[in-house]
A and B are shown apart, each in its own frame.
Chain A
């Protein structure tokens, strides 16, 4: 794979597909889009299989000086690899989800999604500060169109709010980037990761980046665009928003804020904790009273992303790994939940929870998938949600038991609103005739759900596959943060190891057994 520009190719394929879709008819555009996203996914699998765990930190690097002031520099580490995989995995699902439900201006719709895919891969792979900004910001255009053209009744308001909110956050980050480049004299991200900015300046830079990422994540109280955007976007738009776009914020924290401004991150860690704690409790309670399914899941996203920020700012390996796994898991689970909503929305054209009921009777397979994803959202052991949330909370517990305590209530509240939702939709009697007449999921919908369900279980049972590529990068990040880490209240002290394992049996001639052999069991 050495020297083969696979990352550029992964962006070129959907780009070519997008341009083709713009000029193709509806039926052809669907197939082109599916083909392009599947081809990109295949390239993604190749990327993962050729990624050397324990190899150099930045792999598949490409560099070309094309532009005045910045360059076409790409390259990934394990963190970026996982997020790219998430993006390319969800894209074919999005195309399938819109197969029948989108009937107007199909070519443009598919093109917008393929452009989106190009930009997402670019954002995660960019190794040049300004190139990153271009990809990061350009996503506004297709998403604005997706919400505005193919969205629900209140789509205009939602699209404006989404656009202006995120734009305001991003432009301040751009100013900070100019300052950093002027100070450090390079736009190369790996170099900037090692650069020590003066502590006084870090505060401002951190705040400017925070303005952008806090809106993207979104953190309370900057989250208000999210429920509007989610509710009004078409199903696939919500999938991409929840699945990947929200991860841009978390990725921004882990790639920029933490390693570039470690002192400022430590200084503001408590601000992040407070906002996250409020988010966990408040948005969970808000989710509990929603009557609109999409809104409920949107609020649950805010709560889950708060677990991510808590984990990130725990300043230890468990917290960082947990945050990454929560991001990946939430990317899959919330995407799947939006798909579940989309499936029944396509049949009954309402997101009102009260209009459903007893779906487990007439749609048993649907109810099964929905249950799995509900459980994964709650964080049931064996699903991906458990691994991520457990690691995140274990990480934050080392830093602050108070934050861990409050954040954990999110799991309980999460169980409350998700199970309550599930009960009202899938269980109970069939009160509405039209809801009772809905047919079970079609083969196309099986194709959307089954891969996500398999991945959720895979990540829940054997998270090592996902953690292994990231381990070295998180260790590097942890080492970079170690000096700045805020004081923790856990006061962990290493105890003296016992002479024998606690469950060791005393043998009569114990002298023949060394304790090392015993301990190996």
Chain B
């Protein structure tokens, strides 16, 4: 085993881990006064780690040279693509945090604590391991590192009951899902005799026994929980609503990317020989997520809760690409993931800007009535995000749906695609409700607070990506996604 090679491959993770540990010490000695510094340093570490991915992303890496530590970890283009997205989303979550925690929005414990950026860093390390796992043991390690950080993040406002409730719910249900996943993994281990992806894959060729099938289903169920796909989605609205909004923005983006990428890797690299066994499961969850995500959102008054349902809905479209079960589908899924991250991050940043003069946040429809008159910039940005989420051209959200559905139809799943796209119209109903409330109703005039430069920068950037200008990104985005998808299929 060539350790130098292995360490070189996981350099970004090493950087993030070292930064996390060092910043933990800074936080411990410097106290919460140092929180801002820690956040900036953490964002810089994420940026640096992201920068290390650039050569690999640009040239595309695959094959045996990507294996580290005797095949426990695989740093191919696919992992790099997912990691880049995760780091970007994590930087976004760090950028919007200080203003939130230092204002009345944080309730009785005003002031950002140094743990927040450190936890985000550790979660990012966990997610990096998840997306580059090549063995069920590494997969589980990464998943738990991410999940444990996430549980704490959800409950980071200790005296806020909603935040505590969100953390507890997330923990209990997350632990249950981890148990299901572990059980599935143990079944697969028992029936195939290995934990490495290649070993399990070799054991799953040919006729599949009932025990192994149960293993597949349990693993997929555990993963479906992590990506909050129907029917394992129930925790999402509660957790998203209760968690502090910057944390929700984080949950809706980075862990989702990691879990989706992980699911894609597992279904292709481990269950690749048994496409028939998992394809119909993924098709069902995709359709169910689209439909229930849309129906569940209709009656919501709380905007965070509504965006939680919207993320369930979007997961459905992401899984649509996965259900196609070919390279084009995975590439489409990755493109959609990128666009989804931009749209979600932008929407949550916009929600974070709905403040009163003290900085307390507004999060219901009643508060954003007539926002287009009082705060036109935020309202127009939200309009872009909502129409984009609804998939209306010429916004970039349309392009995401475009590639996913194109892959679906080209693979011959016409009826499946037709049902899914018809169901997407239900989703449009509540997205245009946002626009209706902001543009058609008389102003409520409660949103009076000013927002900082970080918010405006992030809002401007995501809005520019989502606007028709974002189409200029599509050639390079498609190129990267194609390389990533190809590296995933090279192993198959």
Question: Which residues of A are at the interface with B, using a C-beta cutoff of 8 A?
Answer: 66-69, 105, 108, 130, 133-135, 137-138, 140-141, 144-145, 148-149, 155-156, 159-160, 163-164, 167-168, 171-172, 174-175, 178-179, 181-182
B411's nearest neighbour on chain A, judged by CB, is A182
User: CB distance B393 to A67 under 8 Å?
Assistant: no
**Min CB distance, B193 to chain A, in Å?**
42
Note all chain A residues with C-beta closer than 8 A to B424. Answer: 171
Note all chain A residues with C-beta closer than 8 A to B417. Answer: 175, 178
User: CB distance B393 to A66 under 8 Å?
Assistant: no
User: CB distance B394 to A134 under 8 Å?
Assistant: yes
**Min CB distance, A121 to chain B, in Å?**
14
A208's nearest neighbour on chain B, judged by CB, is B418
Partner of A168, one of B373, B408, B425: B425
User: CB distance A167 to B402 under 8 Å?
Assistant: no
User: CB distance A174 to B392 under 8 Å?
Assistant: no
Note all chain B residues with C-beta closer than 8 A to A171. Answer: 421-422, 424-425
Q: Which 7 A-B pairs have the closest CB atoms?
A: A178-B409, A134-B393, A68-B478, A148-B440, A171-B421, A68-B474, A182-B410
Q: How many chain B residues have a CB neighbour from A under 8 Å?
A: 34
User: CB distance A156 to B474 under 8 Å?
Assistant: no
Instruction: Check B119 for interface membership: any CB of A closer than 8 A.
Output: no
Instruction: Check B101 for interface membership: any CB of A closer than 8 A.
Output: no
Question: Which residues of B are at the interface with A, using a C-beta cutoff of 8 A?
Answer: 372-373, 387, 392-394, 398, 402-403, 405-406, 408-410, 414, 417-418, 421-422, 424-425, 428-429, 432, 435-436, 439-440, 471-472, 474-475, 477-478
User: CB distance B475 to A68 under 8 Å?
Assistant: yes
A155's nearest neighbour on chain B, judged by CB, is B440
**Min CB distance, B474 to chain A, in Å?**
5
Partner of B398, one of A134, A149, A160, A163: A134
A174 to B420, CA, bound (A): 12
Partner of A144, one of B414, B435, B471: B435
Partner of A178, one of B405, B474, B475: B405
Please indicate which of the listed interface residues B372, B429, B440, B471 has the most CB atoms of chain A within 10 Å of its own CB. B440
Note all chain A residues with C-beta closer than 8 A to B478. Answer: 68-69
User: CB distance B421 to A140 under 8 Å?
Assistant: no
B412's nearest neighbour on chain A, judged by CB, is A182
Note all chain A residues with C-beta closer than 8 A to B422. Answer: 168, 171-172
A105 to B387, CA, bound (A): 21
**Min CB distance, A440 to chain B, in Å?**
35
**Min CB distance, B330 to chain A, in Å?**
16
A65's nearest neighbour on chain B, judged by CB, is B475
Partner of B428, one of A67, A134, A135, A164: A164
B410's nearest neighbour on chain A, judged by CB, is A182
26 A-B Cβ contacts within 8 A?
Answer: A66-B471, A66-B472, A68-B477, A68-B478, A69-B406, A108-B372, A130-B402, A135-B393, A135-B394, A138-B392, A149-B439, A149-B440, A156-B440, A159-B436, A163-B432, A164-B428, A168-B425, A171-B421, A174-B402, A174-B405, A174-B421, A175-B409, A175-B414, A178-B405, A178-B410, A178-B417
Note all chain B residues with C-beta closer than 8 A to A172. Answer: 418, 421-422
User: CB distance B421 to A137 under 8 Å?
Assistant: no
A104's nearest neighbour on chain B, judged by CB, is B373
User: CB distance A144 to B474 under 8 Å?
Assistant: no
User: CB distance A175 to B475 under 8 Å?
Assistant: no
User: CB distance B436 to A156 under 8 Å?
Assistant: yes
A147's nearest neighbour on chain B, judged by CB, is B440
Note all chain B residues with C-beta closer than 8 A to A105. Answer: 373
A143 to B432, CA, bound (A): 13
User: CB distance A67 to B475 under 8 Å?
Assistant: yes
A181 to B478, CA, bound (A): 19
A181 to B143, CA, bound (A): 40
User: CB distance A69 to B393 under 8 Å?
Assistant: no
B403's nearest neighbour on chain A, judged by CB, is A69
Note all chain A residues with C-beta closer than 8 A to B406. Answer: 69, 178, 181-182
Partner of B425, one of A68, A137, A167: A167
User: CB distance A69 to B402 under 8 Å?
Assistant: yes
User: CB distance B392 to A148 under 8 Å?
Assistant: no
User: CB distance B402 to A164 under 8 Å?
Assistant: no
**Min CB distance, A110 to chain B, in Å?**
15
Note all chain A residues with C-beta closer than 8 A to B471. Answer: 66-67
A65 to B451, CA, bound (A): 40
**Min CB distance, A16 to chain B, in Å?**
14
